[in-house]
Every structure is written in C-alpha cells, then in structure tokens.
C-alpha cells in the first residue's frame, strides 16, 4: 500500500498555520510513521518533479490554517487526490477554551490543539487504511 | 496625523515541511518579524502566494522582498520571481548551515539548541539584508498606466491586480493615483495620503511644501533623477487642485 501524504499549509502569519504543521509532523513522525509521509507544499506547487511523483495518484490529507484552503487547493492544482481536507479552525471551534497566543513556538493551548488535530488526522489515516 | 503607510520589506519563507531546514527558515523569518525588525518587515504567506493571493502578489510588485529558502530548490525565490517580481535578496538556509557544521537541528519538528542557534544566525542575516534594502532608494516598479493589465513575459502567471500594494500585516492597501507627467499618465503610490498629510501640516510656505511633497513621493515611488523637475511640477499641480477641492479631489 502506498503511503498517505499529509500536507499542511504551514501558513506563517498565524498560530493556526503552526498548529497544522505541528499536527502533521506528529502524525508522520510519531503516530503513523509507517503509512504516512509528507512533502513540501511549495515544491509541489512549483512543479518539482520528484515531489509531484510522490503525490501523483496517492491519497492526501490536507490541513489548512485558514478558510482560504491553500493546502487543499494547491494539492488539487498539482493533481493530487484529496481524501480528506481538514481545517484547524474546525478543531478550534470544538475547543474554544484552547486559544493559542503564539505563532513561532506554540504555547500550551496551541500544542494541545495540535495534539487533538493530530488525533483526528490519525483516525482519518486509519479509516483510509481499513478501507483498502 | 495621517497614518501614512511605511515602506517595508516582505519576507517570503519556504516553510518546507519535509526538511529541518524548512523549519529553520520559518523560525528565523518569524524571529525577524517579531524581534529583530518588527516595524520594518511583513511576511507573505507562500502557499497563499502560490494559490493566487492577489494581495500578496501585488505587495511584492511594489515593495522589495527577501526570499528565505531551506534548500537549493529555492521554491520561495522562484515563486516570487515567477508570480510577482525578482526578490531583492535571497537567503538559503542550507548554504548558511554549511558554514556552521556544528549547528545541527535535531529534527524538522524540534530544532534543539543547535537548530535554534542556526535559526538565530539566519535571522541575523535576514535582518542585515532588510537594513541594506531599506537604506537604498526605492526600486519599486514604475507603473505607467498604458502598461497596466498587460502581461509581462518574464513574469509568467502574473495576475491583473490593480496598482495597489498591500501590506499583509496591516491588511490595508497603498492606494495608487494617476498623475499626468509631461502629458503621460503615471501611477503614483500613496499620493492621496501624502497630500492629506501635507494639507494637515497647515500653513507651510509653498516652496517648502512642494519640496516636501516630492521627497515624500520619492519614498514610495522611483523617480528618474533627470525627470525630477517634471514630476515636481506635476505633483504640485495635483496637490494644488487637491487642496483647493478641500482635500477631497
């Protein structure tokens, strides 16, 4: 089975971008390292052949920090298949007590949101794997 | 006092998700924005830039940018050049890291002491470039109205943005205004708030106001030295009409 590609937007202006990035790396590096991978979103969109070949025909889970949906849009533009598009703001809506206040290095609230989001991503990964 | 937009440098970081150097790039950029050059810099979100964010692209057309890349693929620099304008400076983390082999990030998620020190040095290099760029006269593109909306061959993917530069952190545009210079329409950035500010100055002598007008316009617009007289005349004519109209023309 080919690996599932987890791609965060890594938006740099706000905490939600950092949270999405942190959550993706938790899943890829710790929670499901055997069945997931990530690629550089910028390289994908800039047409890097090696990156495109790793995404082409594979299921992707995109994680966006804001409603613009850059990760989802860019993966679609690059020919990837978006199996699930997640948004950090949706996790935050369910946990409004966790209000992140830092961007560069997440505070405790931001880290907690990242862990919750990572759990959601992991469940999506498992669901995709089971369906195969 | 009118809140006149300040000239700033946009920093575009690759944020490469796969590599520790991408994390260094991101953290160094944030440090410059938050600590080292807070008032002089803004960041432009690269994924949004690539997805077609007109505001981000418009910003980079009028203001200098620094591209910060984690690896030799140079995604940030190439994206900026392709979609907007050639960056004023390029920083490549892997090149800086090669100069400090003892500074190694622990992982792409946790930089650790070595990675943080590397990020600090990258941030200092970015800040130095910011200072160099702001010390130079503006190299913003001169937009003649006849050129607007026409694609530029060297800038594939260029959108048809209005001549308005947007500062990402402020969310507000820098308005452009058409002025006839020697019979040719030229788009002048920030002219309206500049004139507003001069009117608010009150009863300065006309000669003093005329010089001040030209100097302020030059902060945001490239004016060829040999045409300064023509621009001064055109700007002063525009200002007089603006002032006569009660500052609302």
**A115-130 tens-digit pLDDT:** 999 999 999 999 999 9
Contacts of A68 in chain B (CB under 8 A): 48, 51, 53
pLDDT at B222: 77
Instruction: Name the residue of chain A whose CA is nearest to B157's CA.
Output: A46
More confident residue, B108 or B169: B108
- Whether B159 shows a pLDDT value over 50: the answer reads no
Distance from C-alpha of B69 to C-alpha of B72, rounded to nearest angstrom: 7
Q: For B222-246, write each residue's pLDDT tens digit.
A: 788 889 999 999 999 999 999 888 7
Q: Say if residue B55's pLDDT is above 70.
A: no
Inter-chain residue contact A11 with B45, CB threshold 8 Å = yes
Pair type for strands B165-167 and B172-174: antiparallel
Does A7 sit within 8 Å of B109, measured CB to CB? no
Contact B26 A42 (CB under 8 A): no
Per-residue pLDDT tens for A74-100? 898 888 899 999 999 999 999 999 999
Q: Are B137 and B26 in contact (CB under 8 A)?
A: no
Q: Which one has a higher pLDDT value, B84 or A20? A: A20
Share of chain A above pLDDT 70, in %: 100
In this prediction the ipTM stands at 0.91
Tell me if residue B43 falls in helix, strand or coil. strand
> Residue B174 pairs with which residues in a beta bridge?
B165
- Structural domain boundaries enclosing A46: 4-131
Q: In this complex, is the C-beta atom of A46 within 8 Å of any C-beta atom belonging to chain B?
A: yes
Helix (H, G, I), strand (E, B) or coil at B185: strand
DSSP β-ladder status, B9-13 and B65-69: parallel
Residue B248 clears pLDDT 60, i.e. is over it: no
What per-residue string of b and e applies to B96-106 under the rule 16 or more CB within 10 Å gives b?
Answer: bbeeeeebebe
Query: Which residue among A11, A21, A42 sits closest to B79, beta carbon to beta carbon?
Result: A42
Which residues of chain A lie closer than 8 angstroms to B108, CB-CB? 25, 29
Domain count along chain A: 1
pTM above 0.80, yes or no: no
A33 touches chain B (CB under 8 A): no
Residue B185 phi, psi (nearest 5):
-70, 130
Q: Cα Rg for chain B, rounded, in angstroms?
A: 20
CA–CA distance, A88 with A76 (Å, rounded to integer): 19
Look at residue B40 and tell me whether its pLDDT is greater than 60.
yes
Note whether B31 contacts A13, CB cutoff 8 Å: no
- Determine the straight-line distance between the first and last CA of chain A, rounded to whole angstroms: 8
Q: Considering CB atoms only, which of A10, A11, A46 is closest to B78?
A: A46
C-alpha distances in Å from residue A69, one per residue of A36, B47, B51, B217, B232: 21, 9, 9, 37, 46
Q: Please list the helix, strand and coil fractions of chain B in percent, rounded to the nearest 5, in that order.
A: 50, 15, 35
Best of A7, A12, A87, A103 to substitute, by most chain B Cβ atoms within 10 angstroms, is: A12
- For residue B34, the chain A residue with the least C-alpha distance is A104
Minimum mean pLDDT range among B49-58, B94-103, B161-170: B161-170
**B50 with A46: Cβ contact below 8 A:** yes
A115 touches chain B (CB under 8 A): no
Kindly state the average pLDDT of the residues A41-61.
89
**pLDDT the model gives residue B123:** 97
Q: Can you give the CATH number for the domain in which A64 is found?
A: 3.40.50
**Does residue B169 register a pLDDT over 60?**
no
- In 3D, which of A21, A7, A40 has the Cα closest to residue A106? A21
The size of the A-B interface in CB pairs under 8 A is: 96
Nearest to B8 by CA among B123, B217, B165: B165
**In chain B, positions 50-109, which contact chain A (CB-CB < 8 Å)?**
50-51, 53, 73, 75-76, 78-79, 107-109
Give Cα A123 to chain centroid, integer Å: 13
Q: Which of A12, A38, A73 has the CB atom closest to B30's CB atom? A: A12
């Amino acid at each position: 089975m080919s690996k599932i590609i987890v791609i965060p937007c890594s938006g740099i202006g706000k905490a939600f971008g950092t949270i999405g990035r942190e959550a993706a790396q938790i899943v890829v590096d710790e929670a499901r390292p055997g069945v997931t991978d990530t690629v550089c979103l910028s390289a994908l969109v800039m047409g890097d052949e090696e990156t495109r070949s790793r995404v082409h025909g594979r299921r992707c889970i995109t994680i966006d920090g804001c409603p613009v949906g850059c990760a989802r849009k860019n993966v679609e533009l690059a020919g990837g298949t978006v199996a699930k598009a997640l948004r950090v703001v949706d996790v935050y809506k369910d946990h409004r007590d966790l209000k992140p206040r830092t961007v560069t290095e997440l505070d405790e609230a931001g880290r907690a949101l990242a862990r919750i989001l990572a759990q959601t991503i992991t469940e999506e990964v498992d669901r995709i794997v089971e369906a195969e | 006092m009118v809140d006149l937009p300040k000239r700033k440098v946009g920093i575009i970081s690759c944020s490469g998700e796969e590599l520790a150097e991408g994390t260094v790039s991101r953290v160094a950029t944030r440090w410059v924005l938050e600590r080292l050059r807070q008032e002089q810099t803004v960041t432009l979100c690269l994924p949004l830039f690539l997805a077609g964010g007109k505001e981000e692209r418009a910003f980079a057309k009028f203001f200098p940018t620094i591209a910060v890349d984690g690896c030799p693929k140079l995604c940030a620099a190439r994206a900026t050049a392709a979609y907007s304008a050639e960056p004023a400076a390029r920083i490549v983390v892997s090149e800086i890291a090669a100069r400090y082999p003892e500074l190694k990030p622990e992982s792409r998620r946790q930089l650790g002491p070595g990675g943080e020190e590397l990020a600090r040095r990258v941030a200092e290099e970015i800040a130095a470039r910011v200072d160099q760029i702001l010390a130079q006269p503006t190299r913003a593109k001169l937009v003649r109205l006849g050129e607007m909306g026409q694609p530029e061959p060297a800038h594939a993917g260029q959108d048809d943005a209005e001549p308005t530069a947007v500062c990402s952190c402020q969310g507000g545009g820098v308005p452009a205004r058409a002025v006839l210079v020697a019979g040719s329409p030229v788009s002048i950035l920030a002219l309206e708030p500049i004139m507003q500010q001069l009117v608010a100055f009150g009863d300065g002598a006309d000669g003093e106001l005329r010089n001040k007008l030209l100097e302020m316009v030059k902060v945001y617009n490239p004016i060829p030295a040999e045409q300064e007289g023509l621009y001064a005349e055109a700007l002063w004519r525009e200002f007089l009409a603006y002032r006569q109209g009660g500052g609302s023309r």
